[in-house]
Structure 1
Amino acid sequence: MFGTSGVRGRVGESVTADVALSIGRAVGTDTDRVVVGRDARETGETLQAALVAGLRETGADVVDVGRAATPTVARSITDRSADAGIVVTASHNPPQDNGFKLWTPSGQAYSPDQQTEIEELIESKAYALADWTGQGSHESWAGAATYHKRALVEAGRAAAVDGSLSSLSVVVDLGNGMGGVAADALFELGADVETINAQQDGRFPGRPSEPTAQTCTTLAATVDAVDADLGIAHDGDADRMMAVTDEGEFVPGDLLLAIFGMEVASAGDSVAAPVDTSLAVSDALADIGVELVYTKVGDVYVADRAKDADVAFGGEPSGAWIFPEETLCPDGPLAAVKLAALAAAEPLSDRLARIERYPLRRTVVETDDKAAAMERIAAAVRESYEEVSTLDGVRVDTDDGWFLIRPSGTEPKIRVTAEAREAAATEELLDRALDIVEARTGRGSTE
Structure 2
Amino acid sequence: MISNLAGKEAPKEILEDIEELIECYYEHKPDVNIQNQKVSFGTSGHRGTSLKTSFNENHIFAITQALCEYRKSVGINGVMHIGIDTHALSRPAQISALQVFLGNEVKCKIANEDAFTPTPVMSFTIIEANKNSDVLNDGVVITPSHNPPSDGGFKYNTPNGGPADSDVTSIIEKRANEILKNGLNEVKALAQDKISKSDFLDIDDFITPYVESLDSIIDMTAIKNANLKIGVDPLGGSGLDVYKRINEVYGLNLDIVNEKIDPTFSFMTCDHDGKIRMDCSSPYAMASLIKLADKYDIAFANDPDFDRHGIVTKSVGLMNPNHYLTVAIWYLFSNRKEWKNDLGVGKTLVSSSMIDKVVNSIDKKLYEVPVGFKWFVEGLFDGSLAFGGEESAGASFLRIDGSVWSTDKDGIILNLLAAEITAKLEKDPGVIYQEFEKQFGKAYYKRVDAPASFEQKAKLKSLSVKDITSKTLANEEIENIYTNASGNNASIGGLKVTTASGWFAARPSGTEDIYKIYAESFKSEDHLELLIKEAQDLVIKSI
Q: TM-score, normalised by structure 1?
A: 0.89
CA separation of 1:352/1:387 partners in 2, compared to 1, >3 Å: closer, same or farther? closer
Match of 1:389 in 2: 482
SS at match of 2:236: coil
| 2:347 alignment partner AA | A
Structure 1 residue corresponding to 2:412, chosen from 307, 328, 333: 333
- Once the two structures are TM-superposed, the CA of residue 350 in structure 1 deviates from its matched residue by 2.6
Return the alpha-carbon distance in structure 2 between the equivalents of residues 410 and 147 of structure 1.
32
- Stretch of structure 1 that moved more, 84-93 or 334-343: 334-343
Return the alpha-carbon distance in structure 2 between the equivalents of residues 186 and 293 of structure 1.
36
SS at match of 2:480: coil
Match of 1:14 in 2: 54
- Once the two structures are TM-superposed, the CA of residue 108 in structure 1 deviates from its matched residue by 0.7
- Once the two structures are TM-superposed, the CA of residue 74 in structure 1 deviates from its matched residue by 2.4
| 1:302 alignment partner AA | F
Quick check: 1:77–1:105 contact (8 Å CA) kept in 2? yes
- Once the two structures are TM-superposed, the CA of residue 257 in structure 1 deviates from its matched residue by 0.6
Quick check: 2:160–2:381 contact (8 Å CA) kept in 1? no
Match of 2:173 in 1: 119
Quick check: 2:322–2:393 contact (8 Å CA) kept in 1? no
Structure 1 residue corresponding to 2:533, chosen from 406, 428, 431: 431
Structure 2 residue corresponding to 1:407, chosen from 486, 503, 508: 508
Quick check: 2:120–2:410 contact (8 Å CA) kept in 1? yes
- Stretch of structure 1 that moved more, 320-329 or 308-317: 308-317
CA separation of 1:402/1:131 partners in 2, compared to 1, >3 Å: closer, same or farther? closer
Matching of residue 215 in structure 1 with residue 285 in structure 2: yes
Match of 2:24 in 1: none
- Once the two structures are TM-superposed, the CA of residue 63 in structure 1 deviates from its matched residue by 0.9
Match of 2:36 in 1: none
Match of 1:283 in 2: 357
Match of 1:253 in 2: 321
Match of 2:422 in 1: 343
Following superposition of structure 1 onto structure 2, how do residues 283-302 of structure 1 map, counting pairs within 5 Å? 283-302=357-376
CA separation of 1:323/1:376 partners in 2, compared to 1, >3 Å: closer, same or farther? closer
- Once the two structures are TM-superposed, the CA of residue 192 in structure 1 deviates from its matched residue by 0.7
Quick check: 1:271–1:292 contact (8 Å CA) kept in 2? yes
Matching of residue 44 in structure 1 with residue 98 in structure 2: no
- Once the two structures are TM-superposed, the CA of residue 330 in structure 1 deviates from its matched residue by 1.1
| 2:297 alignment partner AA | D
- Stretch of structure 1 that moved more, 334-343 or 78-87: 78-87
Quick check: 2:124–2:161 contact (8 Å CA) kept in 1? yes
Match of 1:148 in 2: 210
Matching of residue 74 in structure 1 with residue 159 in structure 2: no
CA separation of 1:214/1:177 partners in 2, compared to 1, >3 Å: closer, same or farther? same
Match of 2:243 in 1: 182
Structure 1 residue corresponding to 2:151, chosen from 97, 100, 109: 97
Matching of residue 200 in structure 1 with residue 261 in structure 2: yes
- Once the two structures are TM-superposed, the CA of residue 138 in structure 1 deviates from its matched residue by 3.7
- Once the two structures are TM-superposed, the CA of residue 387 in structure 1 deviates from its matched residue by 3.0
- Once the two structures are TM-superposed, the CA of residue 328 in structure 1 deviates from its matched residue by 0.7
Query: For residues 293-338 of structure 1, what are the alpha-carbon distances to aligned partners after superposition, in whole Å with 9 as ceiling and x for unaligned?
Result: 2111112123345446542101112221111431112122222222
- Stretch of structure 1 that moved more, 422-431 or 146-155: 422-431
Quick check: 1:102–1:110 contact (8 Å CA) kept in 2? yes
Unpaired runs of 5+ in structure 1? 442-447
Match of 2:307 in 1: 239
Quick check: 1:182–1:337 contact (8 Å CA) kept in 2? no
Quick check: 2:106–2:200 contact (8 Å CA) kept in 1? no
The percentage of counterpart residues that share the same residue type is 23
Query: For residues 327-356 of structure 1, what are the alpha-carbon distances to aligned partners after superposition, in whole Å with 9 as ceiling and x for unaligned?
Result: 112122222222221111122133232222
- Stretch of structure 1 that moved more, 14-23 or 429-438: 429-438
- Once the two structures are TM-superposed, the CA of residue 241 in structure 1 deviates from its matched residue by 1.2
Return the alpha-carbon distance in structure 1 between the equivalents of residues 222 and 447 of structure 2.
42
Return the alpha-carbon distance in structure 1 between the equivalents of residues 48 and 357 of structure 2.
37
| 1:327 alignment partner AA | S
- Once the two structures are TM-superposed, the CA of residue 366 in structure 1 deviates from its matched residue by 3.4
- Once the two structures are TM-superposed, the CA of residue 291 in structure 1 deviates from its matched residue by 3.5
SS at match of 2:284: coil
- Once the two structures are TM-superposed, the CA of residue 115 in structure 1 deviates from its matched residue by 0.6
Return the alpha-carbon distance in structure 2 between the equivalents of residues 260 and 185 of structure 1.
21
CA separation of 1:137/1:316 partners in 2, compared to 1, >3 Å: closer, same or farther? farther
- Stretch of structure 1 that moved more, 309-318 or 181-190: 181-190
SS at match of 1:101: strand
Query: For residues 9-41 of structure 1, what are the alpha-carbon distances to aligned partners after superposition, in whole Å with 9 as ceiling and x for unaligned?
Result: 112411111111222222222243201121123
CA separation of 1:115/1:70 partners in 2, compared to 1, >3 Å: closer, same or farther? same
| 2:510 alignment partner AA | G
Quick check: 1:177–1:198 contact (8 Å CA) kept in 2? no
Q: TM-score, normalised by structure 2?
A: 0.74
- Once the two structures are TM-superposed, the CA of residue 47 in structure 1 deviates from its matched residue by 1.4
SS at match of 1:390: strand
Following superposition of structure 1 onto structure 2, how do residues 417-428 of structure 1 map, counting pairs within 5 Å? 417-423=518-524, 424-428=526-530
| 1:219 alignment partner AA | L
Root mean square deviation, CA, Å:
2.7
Return the alpha-carbon distance in structure 1 between the equivalents of residues 153 and 236 of structure 2.
18
| 2:87 alignment partner AA | R
Matching of residue 62 in structure 1 with residue 115 in structure 2: no
Match of 2:337 in 1: none
CA separation of 1:387/1:127 partners in 2, compared to 1, >3 Å: closer, same or farther? farther
Return the alpha-carbon distance in structure 1 between the equivalents of residues 466 and 243 of structure 2.
47
- Stretch of structure 1 that moved more, 285-294 or 101-110: 285-294
SS at match of 1:124: helix
Return the alpha-carbon distance in structure 1 between the equivalents of residues 391 and 500 of structure 2.
23
Structure 2 residue corresponding to 1:264, chosen from 302, 311, 332: 332
List, as ranges, runs of 4+ consecutive aligned residues in structure 1 with deviation greater than 6 Å: none
- Once the two structures are TM-superposed, the CA of residue 264 in structure 1 deviates from its matched residue by 2.1
- Once the two structures are TM-superposed, the CA of residue 410 in structure 1 deviates from its matched residue by 2.2
Count of matched residue pairs: 435
SS at match of 1:388: strand
CA separation of 1:155/1:372 partners in 2, compared to 1, >3 Å: closer, same or farther? closer
Matching of residue 4 in structure 1 with residue 64 in structure 2: no
